[in-house]
Structure 1
Amino acid sequence: MTQPAEHAGGRARTPIDRIGATVLNELVQSIVTGEFGPGDLLPPESVISVQFGVSRTVIRETMKRLQEKGMITVAQGRGTHVNPSTSWNVLDPSVLSAMISNDSTLGVLDDLSVVRSALEAAMAAAAARTVDDDARARLREDLDAMAECVDDSAAFREADLQFHRSVMALSDNALAENIARVLIKHAVGSDRFTGVDPAHAFELTLAEHEKILAAISSGDAEAARIAMSEHILGSWTRRRLPSKKRS
């Protein structure tokens, strides 16, 4: 457990990190949901300080973090303005989680699936170009693990993710892998992303993974790219929940 930091005089205090976490998360939520829209001026530090019952030091630190996330611009003498979503660091965990949790139209998850499919398709193609016997055995082992737990949804989903992680690792593209892992990590915890699996969904998923494995194993980069892209987009389409239309 994190111990309280101490003032120079020796008196213990709670770290700003812990005090400001709730404030930061609530402000991120307020911006993502549009309570404060692009171009809006945030209230002064003194007002936010009173609103949350924390010191202005905490609010100042929170503003720095929001600025690091690309959500606000602080201009001396002109106040703090909210930035449009195109300026946000959408790979920041708190920003991405807030976007997904407030994604009533499923537009964010639609876009996430498109980006993920492009990244993982490129990584599957790269894996096919350098495939060897060890890589084939690794992917076959992952696929067999999926087949063994087809009646256990939680175990099957984890085995599914492990197959994708293996393809990513075999691609030797650390940047694409890191981005894809962030997207997956913050999507899989959402009920909207999980959706509702249709009948025989896991059998369909197994067949799609078999196709990916066959393409990679044969060294056919283009077939691997297509198979991975079709699997990710098709899987999302199958389980996607009905949603509100985008405005």
Structure 2
Amino acid sequence: MKDLLETVLTRAPKRTSHAQVVDQLGKAIVSGEFPVGSILPGDPELAARFRVSRTVLREAMKTLAAKGMIVPRARIGTRVTPPKEWNLFDADILTWHFACGVNEEFLQHLSEVRFAFETHAAALAARNASDAEIVTMMRLAVAMGDANHSAETLAVADLKFHLSVLDASGNPFLRTVGSLIEAALVGVFRLSSPTDEKGGIDEVARNHIRIVEEIRNRNEAGARQAMEYVIKYGRDRIHEAFAKGEMA
């Protein structure tokens, strides 16, 4: 659940040789070291660069191809594809964007996707959530008000809450957008955190509790509006951070 968030917060290294090659080569593509349309170096050169066997390298290349980032061409080589062909729902690709640096436009796009999916998920939760799911969502919302939160623990608590709403929507397809929500929350966390402001944690908790109250009241329109308010709050924090000259 927290792969992207934990990677950004802890900078945890990849464990296996395969994962390390995928990670390093993916970052090289996202950063533009290997530009769109370029042909990657041959297997011998890449295997030497990453100090792995050709077998490991080829498996890594298959993984990147499955993500839409590269495509092999007979007698030509492996070409880097345009970003529009990448699977931007993929947690690895989102992680690499943050590792290489994201801009305000990228984070704005994430906010727009959240408006599309999460507001509807909240409305569906108001219709479909069980009593047990509502209790869980309220517990998670209240826990966000813990005065002892650090920026990191608040980010994790925030993620748990939003994923619980997706679960409570009853639509399994919505749960698959969890990595996008993770990315959006990572973006807000890296730019600024409510823990940096007096009363910030209390305000965040109140806003999330309101979502649950609307869901508990089976008010679909109210739940949608409450979720929209929370997403706008995060979006505005991003705008303010960039206006101050801060970088993601």
How big is the shift at 1:134?
4.4
Asked if 1:211 is matched to 2:210, the reply is: yes
Q: Would you say 1:24 and 2:22 are equivalent positions?
A: yes
Cα gap change, 1:184/1:43 in structure 2, threshold over 3 Å: closer, same or farther?
Answer: same
The 8 Å contact of residues 28 and 66 in structure 1, kept in 2 or not, is answered as: yes
Give the Å deviation of 1:135: 4.7
Partners of 2:122 and 2:220 in 1: how far apart? 7
2:107–2:187 CA contact under 8 A, matched in 1? no
1:118 touches 1:229 (CA, 8 Å); kept in 2?
no
Letter in 2 for 1:220: N
In 2, the alpha carbon distance for the partners of 1:80 and 1:162 equals 39
- 187, 191, 195: which one aligns with 2:192: 195
Q: Which amino acid aligns with 2:242?
A: P
Equivalent residues of 1:188, 1:194 under 8 A apart: no
Code of the aligned partner of 1:195 = S
Aligned mate of 1:183, from 180, 185, 190: 180
Tell me the secondary structure at the aligned position of residue 242 of structure 1.
Answer: helix
CA drift of 1:232 comes to: 1.6
CA distance in 1, matches of 2:113, 2:27: 23
Query: 2:76 matched to 1:78?
Result: yes
Distance 1:137-1:53 versus aligned 2 partners, 3 A rule: closer
Contact preservation (8 Å) 1:109, 1:193: no
Higher mean alpha-carbon deviation, 212-221 vs 194-203, is at 194-203
Output the TM-score relative to the length of structure 1. Answer: 0.78
* Structure in which a larger fraction of residues adopt helix: 2
Query: Against the structure 1 CA distance between its residues 183 and 114, is the aligned structure 2 distance closer, same or farther, given a 3 Å change threshold?
Result: same
Amino acid of the residue matched to residue 84 of structure 2? T
Greater C-alpha Rg: 1
Q: State how 1:33-182 maps to structure 2 within 5 Å.
A: 33-131=31-129, 133-147=131-145, 149-153=146-150, 154-180=152-178, 182=179
Tell me which stretches of 4 or more aligned residues in structure 1 moved more than 6 Å: none
Confirm or deny: 8 A CA contact 2:89 2:180 kept in the other structure.
Answer: yes
CA distance in 1, matches of 2:234, 2:186: 16
CA contact (8 A) 1:100 1:109 kept: no
Farther-moved stretch of structure 1 (63-72 vs 205-214): 205-214
Is contact 1:73–1:83 with CA below 8 Å preserved after alignment?
yes
After superposition, the Cα gap between the structure-2 partners of 1:63 and 1:140, relative to the gap in structure 1 and judged at 3 Å, is closer
Q: Per the alignment, in what secondary structure is the counterpart of residue 37 of structure 2?
A: coil
**Counterpart amino acid of residue 152 in structure 1:** H
Residue-pair matches, total: 227
Contact 2:21 2:50 in 1 (8 A): yes
